[in-house]
Amino acid sequence: MATKKTQIITLVCNKGGVGRSTTAINIAWSLANKKCNVLVCDLDAQANTSSSLAKNYQEDVIEDGRHVTNLLKSYGDSATDYLVDTRNPNIKLLASTLMLDNTEGEIKSLLDLNIFKLFDHFFNRKLKSEYDFIIIDTPPQKSSILTLNALLTSNWYWYVLSAEDQWSLDARIVSDKIIQDVRKLNPKIKPLPVLMTKFVNGSSQSVEMKKVAASEFKAGVFKTTIGYSSIISKSHSNRKSIREFSSGHRVAKNYDSVAMAINRYISKVKPA
Ligand SMILES: Nc1ncnc2c1ncn2[C@@H]1O[C@H](COP(=O)(O)OP(=O)(O)OP(=O)(O)O)[C@@H](O)[C@H]1O
Ligand SMILES: [Mg+2]
């Protein structure tokens, strides 16, 4: 049972394929292994995070209908009944499905009624009392109403950049504009240091990107980066976290170090 205030973290970057979903899955495992209770919320219709994390994706999510689309349409007041188990007892999942692509349009009427902060409503006090962290994975589209609502509920936004992909850094202009708007309605939101993924040791491009990000982003970058490795695609093919697939691998250790750095950073720089 969580004892401290729940920290809600939304992963951002409008560039696709930077490693947000990989990070959501593996940071959840690393935090859970440090005895934190974690809820992962997947707001991407690609559902990669969900199909990798869920214990029984077909049964619990597809057949039983416990997923974010049905939550959004429930007009209920808690996500609790829509959560599913993962293979880690300390991680629960609010899963997505391909259906989520159409859901945004369907729930527009809710938003037209100015019912913003959807997730404040679904992640109510009772639900939050059970989690130390809620990690929200987002789609790459810049106009996602769901991403906006996730940010409106979050304590932290967390940029993930792909170290060999200059365009992931260029994409920050779009995310920055969204965050600026979010701040008007959620002034407590703060940045976590940027996470550099797919970092190639010895590559001048990776080193340079990290340097630029460290100087351009207000919260800087996490010192630990996530190394580039084919273990990631292998773990995805097996629908497993790296911890399950190859527990001693250096990338699993990278995520463990980042989980510790997040805990340290949050206790140092508490959101208002
Ligand atoms: N550290 C890494 N080393 C090598 N490949 C990686 C690493 N992290 C992620 N990848 C690969 O990069 C691709 C994109 O990763 P991922 O799906 O996590 O990114 P994303 O930002 O969630 O993408 P999307 O925009 O599609 O949601 C995947 O094929 C994944 O296997
Ligand atoms: Mg993704």
Tell me which of 22, 44, 175, 245 to substitute to probe ligand 1's pocket, judged by most ligand atoms within 8 Å of the beta carbon.
Answer: 22
Tens digit of pLDDT for each residue in 201-260?
A: 999 999 999 999 999 998 999 999 999 999 999 999 999 999 999 999 999 999 999 999
In DSSP terms, which residues pair with 10 in a beta bridge?
Answer: 136, 157
Structural domain for 138, as ranges: 7-268
Tens digit of pLDDT for each residue in 105-129?
A: 777 666 554 556 778 889 999 999 9
Question: How much distance in Å is there from the Cα of 219 to the middle of ligand 2?
Answer: 23
Q: Which two tokens stand for residue 191?
A: 């940045």
State residue 169's pLDDT score.
86
Lining residues, ligand 1, CB within 6 Å: 16-22, 44, 46, 48, 140, 197-198, 226, 228-229, 232-233, 236, 251
Sign of CA dihedral 192, 6, 240, 104: negative
190: pLDDT strictly greater than 90: yes
Main-chain phi, psi angles of 19, to 5 degrees: 115, 20
State residue 112's pLDDT score.
54
Q: Which of 20, 13, 18, 69 is nearest to 49 (CA)?
A: 20
Q: Cα dist. 222→113, 183, 232, 259, 272 in Å?
A: 40, 23, 20, 10, 21
pTM, rounded to two decimals? 0.95
Question: Relative to the CA of 233, which ligand 1 atom is closest?
Answer: 31
Question: How much distance in Å is there from the Cα of 44 to the middle of ligand 2?
Answer: 6
Minimal-distance CA residue to ligand 1 atom 7: 198
Q: Cα dist. 161→12, 35, 65, 145, 216 in Å?
A: 9, 27, 33, 22, 13
271: pLDDT strictly greater than 80: no
- CA 40 – CA 26 distance, rounded (Å): 11
Ligand nearest to the CA of 13: 1
- Percent of the chain surpassing pLDDT 70: 95
State residue 134's pLDDT score.
98
Q: Which two tokens stand for residue 263?
A: 């805990």
State residue 1's pLDDT score.
45
Q: Give the mean pLDDT of 158-182.
A: 88
- CA 193 – CA 178 distance, rounded (Å): 18
Q: Give the mean pLDDT of 49-54.
A: 98
Residue 2 covered by a domain: no
Domain count, the chain: 1
Residue 189 covered by a domain: yes
State residue 74's pLDDT score.
85
Confidence class of residue 178 from pLDDT cuts 50, 70 and 90?
Answer: confident
Residue 1 covered by a domain: no
CATH number, domain containing residue 80: 3.40.50.300
Please give the single-letter amino acid code of residue 33: N
Q: Which of 185, 188, 189, 132 is nearest to 12 (CA)?
A: 189
Tens digit of pLDDT for each residue in 77-87?
A: 799 999 999 99
Question: Relative to the CA of 236, which ligand 1 atom is closest?
Answer: 31
13: pLDDT strictly greater than 70: yes
Confidence class of residue 142 from pLDDT cuts 50, 70 and 90?
Answer: confident
Residue 232 C-alpha from the chain's centroid? 17
